[in-house]
């Protein structure tokens, strides 16, 4: 089991940057993959980025080149650096840990104004 707490969301103008953090309650060394998802009102939750225990990453096409997911195993934390933000990036961002089951944080709101 793992508890996840997201932070770092906020209100920014288009073109700005935010860095989201996901703090895990336990070591993430043995977590197969962690990721960031987002959900905007009226939309389904979508995958933004994932990072495996080996450090490989995958991104949604819409964020490639702008977002970077990383992990600091010593701090049990996963980050999402978001640059060149667009209004369509607005949403509630959730941290996810894939183990035998999926675990979710409560989310952090990201709002990008035009």
87: left (phi over 0), alpha (psi -120 to 50) or beta: alpha
Per-residue pLDDT of the chain (114 residues; tens, 9 = 90+): 899 999 999 999 999 999 999 999 988 877 789 999 999 989 999 999 999 988 899 999 999 999 999 999 899 999 999 999 999 999 999 999 998 899 999 999 999 999
Q: What is the SS3 string spanning the chain?
A: CCCEEEECCEEEECCCCEEEEEEECCCCCCCCEEEEEEECCCCCCEEEEEEECCCCEEECCCCCCCEEEEEEHHHCEEEEEECCCCHHHCEEEEEEEECCCEEECCCEEEEEEC
Closest Cα partner for 50 from 27, 67, 65, 66?
67
């Amino acid at each position: 089991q793992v508890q996840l707490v997201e932070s770092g969301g906020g209100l920014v103008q288009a073109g700005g940057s935010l860095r989201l953090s996901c703090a895990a309650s336990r070591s993430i060394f043995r977590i197969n993959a962690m990721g960031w998802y987002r959900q905007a009102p009226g939309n389904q939750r979508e995958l933004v980025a994932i990072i495996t225990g080996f450090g490989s990453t995958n991104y949604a096409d819409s964020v490639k080149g702008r977002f970077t997911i990383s992990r600091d195993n010593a701090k049990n934390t996963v980050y999402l650096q978001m640059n060149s933000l667009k209004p369509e990036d607005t949403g509630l961002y959730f941290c996810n840990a894939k183990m035998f089951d999926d675990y979710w944080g409560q989310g952090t709101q990201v709002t990008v104004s035009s």
